[in-house]
């Protein structure tokens, strides 16, 4: 659709009251496939049309500008991270020449992104495992609850995924014939406690679930956990038989190891191994390895554990990758072994806004034990790629610097767009009322609530990034619309427009840094040079610069994109939306937001 037609359509809509016909809150998975929730949302949108002004966004552009990604990569190399931004806790499975990878998604929706690759480097997102509101209920959850550490496996033409819905049901299993979906509704695993289940199919066809749980008896110290195993019936989708503790605390209980989690079983040359993360998810994170003759043990640790960590390296080294762990192993078509694992890229100390990302490294085998990093070895940003045929680059970039512009000219949002928790019954966004644009209807739920606010966003995948949009909106005294950078309900920035009681339009930056105001406090504002009660046509831009954000705007009109950008707030504290400041396990999202202030407190 041409930009001139978009402008004409939006201008015509400003001259009459809008009827928001919010469409599906679901995402197309593959081709023309649509989820059941998409149909439900469309019918709800049709039956719940609501008179009032919607905010119309003409486009949204995101550009990554990290200096560490500027060095070119040859055809014999790959770039880390392979999935930049908030893609933690990777799990991978090989099926023939194909590889499939999933990540944690916590209380974001759709949940559990699933990717496909044939070379372990170029990853195309197929869809989401949790793409229907009825599968899991994230209502009222903190954003770092919900889906923890999914683990994917394949057996006899069927895909299995086990995971934990923290504070929303516990451990579960879902299945699919096609990894792109649809995936089944969860089948709960009531006998499996704790978190981080992983399903292993042994060479004899028997299946087992290993997971993190409390140790037998009373914990001996803070962070004392254990790894348990139980047999699993893949037809009945249920565990059976006795549960057994197979790892107590970690490699050496006398040293009080903490937070052993994310276990996986695997075999190589007939030998059974168990690998798990330990040390907590921050800078002391690591990966350890054990082996045994049976899934029920006894397990013996490697003498040179951990097999992956960066905790002993100089924190002042340039461009550090830290907090590495939560690895999963896979063998490529040439027989070489690789590990995918999470890591972080802090801009200072332990501060990062991009969340925990997915990295790839080769696995070396020494004396029958796997090794990922040794000694002073650091995680490389560029390394020799797997010696398998190269796949085409995906349409949605997942690594390096790139520019991606969403024109909102398709029936569904692209797969990289997320919302908070389950979609509301009354859908608040629409892609058809103004063709080629996205409309958000301001609702009373805000970013500071534990509901489903009118917020659509994508991951911030770079320390240095530029996000911008064009917004047309005729606010009243209670409605606001614009952009937001969001980490959790107590840590976010809102950059947008509103109107005072005299009809004057204004632009403001609001910040919530743990304070009591659910919409945050105004840290910068300015009246716009517009007639009283006039519609606003404006471009907004947020620049991330590591620990700082800059907020610029320019009025659009007929000369859209040609006027100078006006600064409203420069060098705002970016640590407000860092994982370190906010807590939890996710990364920052940046996107589009509208809200109404007249909700009951």
Cis peptide before 81 (omega within 30 of 0): yes
Do residues 567 and 554 touch, judged by C-beta distance below 8 A? no
Token reading at 52: 């009032």
Token reading at 164: 């934990």
Half-sphere exposure of 277 (CA within 13 A, CB side): 32
SS3 467: strand
SS3 334: coil
Q: What angle do CA 307, 124, 122 make, to 5 degrees?
A: 55
Token reading at 300: 């013996």
Pairing of the two strands 226-233 and 207-213:
antiparallel
Token reading at 83: 């999935």
In the chain, % helix, strand, coil (3-state, to 5) comes to 5, 45, 50
Token reading at 336: 């070489």
Half-sphere exposure of 520 (CA within 13 A, CB side): 26
> In this structure, which long-range contacts are made by residues 342-345, counting pairs with CB atoms below 8 Å and at least 24 apart in sequence?
342/88, 342/89, 342/90, 342/285, 343/81, 343/310, 343/379, 344/579, 345/68, 345/81, 345/319, 345/320, 345/321, 345/463
261 is an active site residue: yes
Do residues 328 and 276 touch, judged by C-beta distance below 8 A? no
140 is an active site residue: no
Identify the active-site residue in 89, 119, 213, 332: 89
How far is Cα 354 from Cα 357, in angstroms, rounded to an integer? 8
Q: What is the CA radius of gyration of the chain?
A: 24
Do residues 199 and 295 touch, judged by C-beta distance below 8 A? no
| Count of C-beta atoms within a 10 Å radius of residue 4 | 8
Report which DSSP code applies to 42. Answer: H
Identify the active-site residue in 28, 42, 66, 261: 261
Q: Within the chain, what is the greatest distance between any pair of CA atoms?
A: 78
How far is Cα 440 from Cα 431, in angstroms, rounded to an integer? 9
Q: Known catalytic residues?
A: 89, 261
């Amino acid at each position: 659709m041409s930009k001139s037609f978009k402008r004409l359509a939006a201008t015509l809509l400003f001259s009459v009251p809008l009827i928001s016909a919010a469409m599906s809150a679901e995402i197309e998975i593959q081709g023309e496939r649509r989820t059941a929730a998409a149909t439900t949302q469309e019918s709800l949108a049709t039956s719940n049309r609501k008179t009032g002004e919607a905010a119309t966004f003409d486009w949204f552009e995101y550009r990554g500008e990290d200096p560490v990604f500027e060095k070119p990569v040859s055809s014999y190399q790959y770039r880390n991270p392979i999935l930049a931004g908030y893609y933690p806790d990777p799990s991978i499975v090989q099926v023939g020449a194909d590889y499939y990878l999933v990540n944690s998604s916590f209380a974001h929706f759709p949940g559990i992104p699933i990717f496909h690759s044939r070379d372990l480097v170029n990853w195309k997102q197929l869809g989401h495992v949790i793409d229907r509101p009825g599968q899991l209920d994230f209502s009222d959850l903190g954003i770092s609850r919900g889906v923890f550490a999914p683990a994917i496996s394949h057996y006899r033409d069927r895909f299995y995924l086990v995971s934990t819905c923290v504070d929303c049901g516990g451990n579960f299993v879902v299945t699919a014939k096609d990894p792109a979906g649809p995936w089944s509704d969860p089948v709960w695993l009531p006998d499996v406690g704790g978190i981080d289940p992983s399903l292993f199919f042994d060479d004899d066809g028997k299946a087992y679930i290993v997971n993190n749980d409390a140790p037998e008896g009373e914990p001996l110290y803070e962070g004392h956990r254990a790894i348990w195993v139980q047999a699993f019936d893949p037809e009945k989708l249920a565990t059976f038989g006795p549960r057994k503790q197979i790892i107590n605390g970690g490699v050496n209980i006398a040293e009080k190891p903490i937070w052993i989690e994310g276990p996986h079983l695997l075999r190589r040359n007939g030998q059974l191994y168990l690998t798990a993360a330990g040390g907590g998810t921050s800078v002391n994170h690591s990966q350890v390895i054990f082996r045994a003759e049976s899934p029920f043990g006894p397990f013996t640790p490697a003498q040179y554990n951990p097999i992956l960590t960066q905790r002993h390296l100089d924190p002042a080294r340039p461009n550090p990758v830290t907090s590495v762990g939560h690895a999963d192993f896979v063998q490529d078509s040439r027989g070489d072994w690789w590990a995918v694992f999470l890591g972080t890229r802090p801009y200072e100390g332990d501060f990062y806004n991009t969340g925990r990302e997915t990295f790839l490294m080769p696995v070396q085998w020494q004396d029958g034990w796997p090794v990922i990093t040794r000694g002073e070895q650091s995680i490389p940003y560029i390394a020799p790629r797997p010696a398998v045929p190269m796949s085409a680059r995906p349409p949605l970039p997942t690594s390096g610097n790139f520019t991606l512009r969403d024109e909102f000219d398709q029936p569904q949002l692209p797969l990289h767009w997320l919302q908070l928790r389950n979609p509301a019954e009354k859908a608040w966004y629409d892609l058809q009322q103004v063709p080629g644009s996205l409309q958000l209807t301001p609702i009373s739920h805000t970013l500071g609530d534990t509901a489903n606010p009118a917020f659509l966003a994508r991951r911030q995948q770079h320390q240095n990034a530029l996000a911008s949009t064009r917004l047309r909106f005729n606010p009243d005294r209670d409605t606001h619309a614009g952009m937001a950078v969001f980490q959790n309900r107590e840590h976010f920035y809102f950059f947008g427009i509103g109107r005072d009681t005299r009809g004057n339009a204004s632009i403001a930056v609001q910040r919530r840094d743990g304070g009591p105001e659910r919409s945050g406090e105004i840290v910068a504002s300015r009246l716009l040079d517009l007639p009283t009660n006039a519609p606003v046509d404006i471009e907004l831009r947020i620049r991330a610069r590591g620990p700082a954000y800059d907020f610029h705007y320019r009025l659009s009109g007929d000369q859209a994109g040609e006027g100078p950008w006006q600064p409203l707030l420069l060098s705002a504290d970016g640590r407000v939306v860092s994982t370190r400041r906010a807590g939890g396990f996710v990364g920052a999202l940046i996107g589009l937001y509208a809200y109404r202030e007249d909700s009951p407190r």
